[in-house]
Amino acid sequence: MVVTGGCGFVGSHLVDRLLRQGYEVIAYDVSPPPPDQRGDSVRYLAGDIRDRARLATAITEGVDVVYHLAAVVGVDRYLAQPLDVIDITVSGTRNVLELATQVGAKVVVSSTSEVYGRNPAVPWPEDADRVLGSTAAERWSYSSSKALAEHLTFAFARQRGLRATIVRYFNVYGPRQRPAYVVSRSIHRALRGLPPVVYDDGQQTRCFTYIDDAIDATLRAGTDPRADGECFNIGSTEETTVGEVIELVSQLTGLSPCLVSVDTDQRLGVGYQDVRRRVPDTAKARALLGWCSTTPLRTGLMRTIEWAREHPWWLELPEGGAG
């Protein structure tokens, strides 16, 4: 098995699960593995996903499945590095698809709920319309590049016979996540004795998905032949406001929720363009993969907080972003 982005948040958890299931794993990433990841049977291969020659040393004959998770993720990075977001997503995905086609491997391509943009008709089924803002707004560079990566994936499947599946993640959270998102940033601040930050009115809604559930779905997508050629929403269907999540984190950590309010237009500029509601329709994943998110938000938050308390290296990471 090959996991691109195998040292990132979702990728490192996927590597851990594959190892527990007895697979030989190559983790391909520009970054080193997280400090708490220990796997003697993992082959870590440092490389940029855009470097086709280097990537070809990972995706070789005999590889069964390539889980393609490498990407530039996070609203802070979309705004600061839009060229990298586009280039890594589009060029990198094409490299993965071409090499996998050559060696006969299946590919699971990670995508995002961002592809739907700000379509107000929630919940979104997989064939819902994409509703985006102006191309001058950096926010949509991630959404558009991921959508193009999906087009490439479907094209390789239809024209070249590649076995491929797309998974669209909805607000995945859990241990190891960079403290630049609603859950991870709130826990990071709370355990350092800092007040939580809420962007705008905190009434934006999301469906927060615990990492273990997302990994379960990803593995099913990689092993179930019924997933070939398909795209799946992977997320909880429990819609929760950002403010409610921040309050729950405060309760579980024992921190008084004395909020720091941030106006996104002033802090991040007009390129941010937040999405008010983000809700998946997961009927397809239930029907074809037999999957649904099962971890309650409170349970997932408690597990993440417990892990964070036991791993001080994570608390030393810099905070950032408006995820």
Residue 268's pLDDT band (cuts 50, 70, 90): low
Q: What is the pLDDT of residue 78?
A: 66
Q: What is the pLDDT of residue 322?
A: 45
Residue 18 lies in a domain: yes
Residue 180 lies in a domain: no
Residue 305 lies in a domain: no
Number of domains in the chain: 1
Residue 308 lies in a domain: no
**Structural domain harbouring 89:** 2-170+211-237+279-293
Contact between 103 and 61 under an 8 Å Cβ cutoff? The reply is: yes
Using only C-alpha atoms, what is the Rg of the chain? 19
Q: Please check the confidence at residue 265 and state whether its pLDDT lies above 60.
A: no
Q: Please check the confidence at residue 320 and state whether its pLDDT lies above 80.
A: no
Residues catalogued as catalytic: 142
Mean pLDDT, rounded, for 144-166 = 97
Q: What is the pLDDT of residues 233-251, one digit of tens each?
A: 999 999 999 999 999 999 9
Q: Please check the confidence at residue 21 and state whether its pLDDT lies above 70.
A: yes
Give me the torsion for CA of 102, 105, 106, 111, rounded to 10°: -70
Q: What is the pLDDT of residue 294?
A: 97
Angle between helices 140-160 and 82-103 (to 10 degrees): 20
Residue 39's pLDDT band (cuts 50, 70, 90): low
Residue 111 lies in a domain: yes
Q: Residue 135's domain is classified under what CATH number?
A: 3.40.50.720
Residue 147 lies in a domain: yes
Contact between 232 and 284 under an 8 Å Cβ cutoff? The reply is: yes
Residue 299 lies in a domain: no
Place of tokens 């499945």: 65
Q: What is the pLDDT of residue 266?
A: 56
Residue 32 lies in a domain: yes
Mean pLDDT, rounded, for 276-293 = 96
